Amino acid sequence: MSDLVDNPEEYFRQFVPLRGALLSELEEEALREDIPIVGPVVGELLFILARVTCSERILELGTATGYSAIFLAGALEHPGGRLVTIENDPALASRARNNFSRAALDRLIEVRVGGALEEMEKMTEPFDFIFMDIEKADYDGALPHCRRLLKKDGLLVADNVGFKDAGPFNRLIAGSSEWKYVNLFSFLPLHSPEHDGLCMALRL
């Protein structure tokens, strides 16, 4: 069997997917302003997962400037496809709306301003895919809403599950028979932070 490459992190940094001017600008802005975004590897992963699941309705919890939402909405293929994204900071929500217009994705994306748990409480429409990227201490409280709002066999992706505050969420999903899940602890170039866990869970 062949040996693993030397310095795998430096090696894989050279294969980070290419992206356009707007996404590069949002990455630079995020670095400058310390806005935690998923970066191009998880962004592309979200695109691929949304596309292979043929997702028509996607829910995102935690919009920030709209970086990850641009990948998710870009994956929508169905003419009625829609992304709903929730952000509790009105100034960030407004910046995200502006970025969605610049990406010509605004007609596919609805930004709701408010707390994710409170907004989800009001929702009844089913989703194919949920991406969770809010305050980590809110993850366990959001999980029952994700279960209720996802269709059977819908996909939940939770970012940053390597954070201590995601512990209650990790334990809840691990002890539940309502999900089939996996945690991947990975090197994620340009993700905030670059070493972190991602949870992918199928709603049974």
Ligand X SMILES: C[S@@+](CC[C@H](N)C(=O)[O-])C[C@H]1O[C@@H](n2cnc3c(N)ncnc32)[C@H](O)[C@@H]1O
CB of 169 to ligand X, least distance (A): 13
Task: Classify the C-alpha dihedral 168-201-144-149 as positive or negative.
Answer: positive
- Report the nearest approach of ligand X to the CB of residue 4 (Å): 29
Give the neighbor-by-neighbor strand order of the sheet with 82-87.
109-113, 82-87, 57-61, 127-132, 150-158, 195-203, 179-187
Give the number of C-alpha atoms closer than 13 A to the C-alpha of residue 118, restricted to the C-beta side. Answer: 6
Nearest residue (CB) to ligand X, 1 versus 162: 162
- Which span sits near ligand X by CB under 6 A: 9-17, 64-72, 76-84, 180-188? 64-72
Cα-to-chain-centroid distance, residue 11: 25
Beta bridge partners of 157: 131, 200
Q: Which residue has the tokens 């748990």?
A: 117
Q: CB of 191: closest distance to ligand X in angstroms?
A: 9
- Least CB distance to ligand X at residue 33 (A): 11
* 71 is a site residue for ligand X (CB under 6 A): no
Q: Which of 9, 10, 89, 121 binds ligand X (CB under 6 A)?
A: 89
- Residue 174's alpha-carbon distances to 49, 57, 105, in angstroms, are 22, 26, 36
Position 49 contacts ligand X (CB under 6 A): no
- Part in contact with ligand X (CB under 6 A); list of ranges 6-14, 80-88, 97-105, 168-176: 80-88
Nearest approach in angstroms of CB 166 to ligand X is 12
Q: Is 40 one of the binding residues for ligand X (CB under 6 A)?
A: no
Query: How far from chain centre, in Å, is Cα 133?
Result: 6
CA R_g for the chain: 16
Q: Is 128 in the site for ligand X (CB under 6 A)?
A: no
Closest CB to ligand X among 1 and 139?
139
Binding site for ligand X (CB under 6 A): 36-38, 62, 64, 67-68, 86-89, 92, 115-116, 133-135, 138
